[in-house]
Structure 1
Amino acid sequence: MTPLNAFLQNSSVLTTMTVAGNYYLPVNGADSNTVLSGAYMPMTCISGYTYASGQLNITCTGNTWSTFPRCISSTNGGSVQSPVPSATSGLPCIVDQATSFNITNGYYSSSSLLYTANNTSATGYIQFSCVPGYVIDQTIGTTYTCNNGVWSTKPRCISTGRCSYPTLQSYITTATGLQTTNITHLVAASQNDTVVFNGSYIVLACATGYTNIGGNLNITCSDSGSWSPFPICVLNGGSASLTTTTISGNNAAVTTTTTPSSGGAACPYDPTTLFALTNGYFTSSSLSNPTPTTANGWIQFACNPGYALDPTVGASYTCNNGVWSTKPRCLITPRCSMDVFNKFLSSSTAIQTTSQMKLSATPQDQTVVFVDSYAVVACATGYTNTGGSLNVTCLSTGSWSAFPNCVINGGSGSLTTTTISAGNAATTTTISAGNGGVTITTTAAGNPAVTTTTTPSSGGAACPYDPTTIFALTNGYYISSSLSNPTPTTANGWIQFACNPGYALDPTVGASYTCNNGVWSTKPRCLITPRCSMDTLNKFLSSSTAIQTTSQMKLSATPQDTTVVFVDSYAVVACATGYTNTGGSLNVTCLSTGSWSPFPNCVINGGSGSLTTTTISAGNGAATTTTISAGNGGVTTTTTAAGNPALTTTTTPSSGGAACPYDPTTLFALTNGYYISSSISNPTPTTAAGNYNVRTVLKPHLFYIVGWIQFACNPGYALDPIVGASHTCNNGVWSTKPRCLSKPNIS
């Protein structure tokens, strides 16, 4: 920006020319003083001056600005036409509505035309822009001008650099030690998906035990049409030759072999801190010490049970020519509640524990255990498991696997049960391992389970029987039974229940209600499942001008409360014509966590023509809920009341809306996150009062832009799904800025 600012500050420029129409100055997110290749600022000579030399559309190509223009006084000779003339100058030009406003790989963006009486010719100009993957030929510019009865050369859109997608795929599928991430932005032409546009990127990571010694892990398609140098993930401590991949200009991969970069300057060495890792430990190293306070080489780390290495960093801490790489870090994994497990054991009379168990926790908190902890149980003699696996396991989600449910099978003979004495119902004893891990056993030494023998309940006393209550379940319903009635008021056997939508059976009780020798077991109960707010969905729909609703939706709720809907409820939406989704899925779904999936974000894609939007009338509440009771108590919700369809209107794309304030020192910053991509353009700079002034270009805080910016979060944080990943300019007002929320520890 320095050369451009210096040019604009020149006193001769301030008195002879001004900015002409929209300009485009996309900045590098890391350096607001540097613009990206393709940036441009059109200039025009002011009244009394004419164009003399240079390029009026100042353009950044590669890393160089085009020759700056020069305007001279009209009284000193010359009468070169300014690129944006008055709409009333000279003879009119023929205007063909079918062709004059069309451009291959581009579209009409604005015009200033004064038509003759028969509307077949006009004076003035038409301006064009290009679709993604193309840029205006800067030798012509964006303007199609009528010059005294003759149209100027029509603007044309030139293909930008494109990169081979098969080359990228081949690299990813053949590279060793490489992992993909969910951070990617690969944009291809609809006509040819074998190439992607410049600016496309994909972020990769080295697998645990590997270190990148090649190109950046953020592989990007450059404007020259080649991929940035590919990363090379090598096994830590490897001494063999290193194979690197370079891509020639025609995208053909060229393979060369070099030696690993084990040399270079040594790094600071403090053994009291270098080998330490929070929630982890040192496993191996290969170091040499040129001096007592410096070292070359690498150190490998691993994590304590209950933690896992951050895959974006890996396991290695490497000295790279005097600088240590990012130190590995151990992230907490999900954990399961011991209280939930103990309640299951204590309430299940037909469950027996076994010696096959491994319950691991930290010494500081034994109320939760790590993923893959397990306890194998068994059904007592005469009982059969009709529920989850008898190997109860802590899953990677932080919840227990479905609990088993042991029901009497009607068999005769004695019944062996296991009684766990009070205070020993799966107690935890910690044993510290050498690497900081902890193993928990569930039965204290010398206190074995006590075994007793009883008669199965099929021959025992009957239980009280009241058909008006025994088959009823709050938020659930009876599905099957096996009962015998010795008298009209007593019964033997069992009853099975299920829950209404929006509820789930308490896994510590199960689905069966069983008569055990005159006593009914604990009655199943239906616990409420997480639910999603309809208010949140409605706010999204009402605030997203380019979102259209569709008929594909299922929003289920209870008749008593339609402000929330059940898990797996969904609404399929669509982007209006001329808009593209850059956010979450267009199938907005209520997740098992009780939050909506990330909302989509429809941004204008520069398409021509009118925009069809769907307006929902005020009385229809953009996804109101009508409940229909099902035979088993379930509820289905539809979102549009009969006879009140969505109203369709046609409007112009919002590219003509007001621009938003632009301060590059804050706009690209995000607490606990980072900027990943943007699509912004800079209309004519304006002061707060709306006056056009070339001097405001020198003050970044007075820039005004249109477009959007995408963000992502650092490890350990996740985007707030209510806001999403995009920060969008909506007719002069920025949308809510994305925010990174700390991921909760699951217990």
Structure 2
Amino acid sequence: MKASDEIGNESPVSNLVILRFFIEPPIPKCPDAPPPSPNSRTAVFSSTPVVITGTNHYNNGTTVTYTCHDGFAFTDGFSQTYSCIFGVWETTSAPVCYGLCPRAPAEGMNGHPPIYSQSPALGGKYLSGTIAQYNCMEGYTTHVDDGNTLVCFDGSWASNNPPQCWEVCNNAPAIIDNSGPILYSTGAMIISGSESYRTGTVASYTCAASFSVAVGVTNTRTCHDVTWNATTPLCLPECGEAPTASAYGNPPSYNPSNDGMYMLTSYPSETNATYQCIDDFAFHLGVADTLTCYAGVWSATHAPLCEAVCSSAPPSSTHGHPPLYNSQHLVMNGDNKYMAGTTATYTCNTNYALSAGVSDVLTCAHGSWLQHTSPQCVQVCSNPSNGTRVSFNPPQTDGRFRNATIATYTCTTDYAFPVGVGESQICSSGVWVGGKPQCQPVCEVAPPTSTHGLPPTYNSQPINNKYRSGSVAVYNCREGYKLAVNVGNTISCGNGVWSMNISPTCLPVCGDPPTPSSNGNQPTLNVAQVQTLGGWYYISGSVAIYTCTTYHSFAVGVGSTLTCNAGNWGTDRAPRCLEMCMDAPGHSSHSSPPIYTPSPMTVRHKSGTIALYHCEAGYAVAVGVSDTLTCNDGRWFAPMAPLCPAGNYSS
């Protein structure tokens, strides 16, 4: 390009310019200004552009002015002007046109109308960037996490709702016991002379030494609209070290661990102390491995006990399934182990089961299974009932009758099993052992006893006052009576009927009469003995006649016979044979021979015979002297006759 092209004509001035062009460098021109942003009008330049190599350039000092369409404005007004200074525009980008905001949201409850950071623009709208500041009435503030302003940006406020005004809180409630100071997340405000705190303020509680808030319990309360939320935490005593681990156990680990917030041997409430055992030992099934601190005391005074574990339970028997465990196994050194208290339950194949009364469970204790061998599976029995009434011990629960199961049969009313017939069978290796009993009709009570008979006794207990087949009624008689020899003393029940419909008769009898006394002969009886069921006896009315040897007789007035009367001879002694007396002593002078009572049958007199002496007239037995003598077992008493002295009589 030539200098003359820029000037455009030839004149003295142009020549001067040309000369200056070659002496001083030209002032740089600015390229076209940054294009307007959206919602902007076309930029307005203060000078006409110079076209250089097909593009617009502007002389130094040229200004460009940007304006926005209606309803839009820049953050600081409605137009922005920038200058071209030595080839560079004052901005590298056109200013942005933002939408205008209407009035900010009206204040909320307990709030004042907002205060704007700048006056409204045309039409009462606000430029983007305008700040609306909200203030609350006395005793109210915004939340600590919420500002009290809204900002206008590109036609809308940061929120459609104004900041909310909350009533302030007084001081947080204090912990009554063992507490430290309360720490607040915000400073206090003095309202009406009292300390107050904004909604959202957090009050953190602290405890005195050796006390703390329980694990998991928040030690804070938050102010919300005049109220502190939650409840005031308690400062609880801390625990010392947990109980020492048992033998074969490792020291406990703590959760949360003592991380410097507490003394090394001090733990807050709800701290857990978890124990572990060394290999081949574990805690008993169901025993917790953890103790918990609460209010200064651990939940147990002793650590959980480490017990020896068991290897796998004994394998199942023939016809059995592998045992089922009630807990997961532990893997120790590559082997499956089971905790003490673990049970292994055994089951059998179809048609097999454990014997009745045999436990299907083995239990791990002290490192071994109790018992040491697995229970045996034995073939089950089929149902033996076939419609009969039968119960089972143990009760049948799974449709199978186990080995050693006892089947006990019962009969319907008025039927029973015969005496001596078993009422049960037992299952043995799949077979019912013992014949199946048959029900037979029962008998009523046996016929009543005869006169002088005792009630019958039975060889079996009655069933509802009735007796089973095979029952025997035994009859006996009262004392002094016996059953006839040709009649048995029993009757039996068979198929509902007694073998006799009347009871046997009791006969009155006596045994042998009393043995004769010394000097006596064996008695003779007026009737012969009869044979009874109990032996030989004499019937009632039999007479035993006693006699004495020579020179002996029964005493005066003593009978020589005993009579059987309903089993009793009347005495247990035979009449006594006594020696007979010769004649009484001769009479004295002046007396007559004695008179005997009773009169003698022979020259000898029975014991008890009395000899009476009489004196002649004018004579009498002395006063106080008996005039009689008595025979007693061969002798007279006295040995001499009484004397009859003269004049010894009364007028």
On whether the aligned pair clears a TM of 0.5, the verdict is no
Report TM bin, short chain.
Answer: under 0.3
Q: Which has the larger radius of gyration?
A: 2
Q: Which has the higher contact order (CA 8 A, sep 6+)?
A: 1
